[in-house]
Amino acid sequence: MVKKPTLIAFDLDFTLWPFAVDMSAYVAPPFSKNMNGQVVDTRSRKIKHFKEVPSILKRLHHEGYILAIASRTGDPEAARQLLKLFNWEKYFTYIEIYRGSKITHFKRFKSESGIDFSEMLLFDDEHRNKRDLDTIGVMMIMVIGGVTHKLVTEGLDKFSNSYEQK
């Protein structure tokens, strides 16, 4: 029997999109949609997400996973705005966006959902978050260059294999 996580969480910056939402060198919130329906910042620059993200979120949601956002950005409002403009809010049951340790994000997930840390999986681009989450038993998969279908499949396999070894 293949063991699957109950909750899959994603970081935002450099994981679902290729920039830090709170750094003006990358983007200039607030965001909106232009006449062509493209998401743009106040400088009218197109704001793009990593290519495979919409189909990944749709797939995981369709497969019945509970999805969550765990982001430590300094501009939670801008991050939430992008989630809405990209039409991704519908996929996420839990959204925790604020500065601070990812441990706090996951403690809230656990408190609100009743799901144990050992049933959670995070995709994130920062090593420090892996070190933190290892202390509470949440598995993290390192993301380099954005989340992809291949990485998600590898992460799910790693999660399953970790149970087989216990």
Predicted confidence (pLDDT) per residue in 106-149, tens digit: 999 999 999 999 999 999 999 999 999 999 999 999 999 999 99
Please check whether residue 39 lies inside any domain of the structure: no
CATH number, position 144: 3.40.50.1000
List, by residue number, the catalytic residues: 11, 13
Predicted confidence (pLDDT) per residue in 36-89, tens digit: 999 999 999 999 999 999 999 999 999 999 999 999 999 999 999 999 999 999
Q: State the DSSP H helix or E strand holding residue 93, giving kind and residue range, or none if neither.
A: strand 92-97
Q: CA separation (Å) from 40 to 17, 22, 99, 143?
A: 13, 15, 24, 25
> Which pTM value belongs to this model?
0.95
Using alpha carbons, select from 125, 145, 149 the residue that is nearest to residue 58. Answer: 149
Q: Is the distance from CB of 57 to CB of 91 less than 8 angstroms?
A: yes
Please check whether residue 25 lies inside any domain of the structure: no
Domain count, the chain: 1
Domain that holds residue 54: 7-18+49-164
Please check whether residue 54 lies inside any domain of the structure: yes
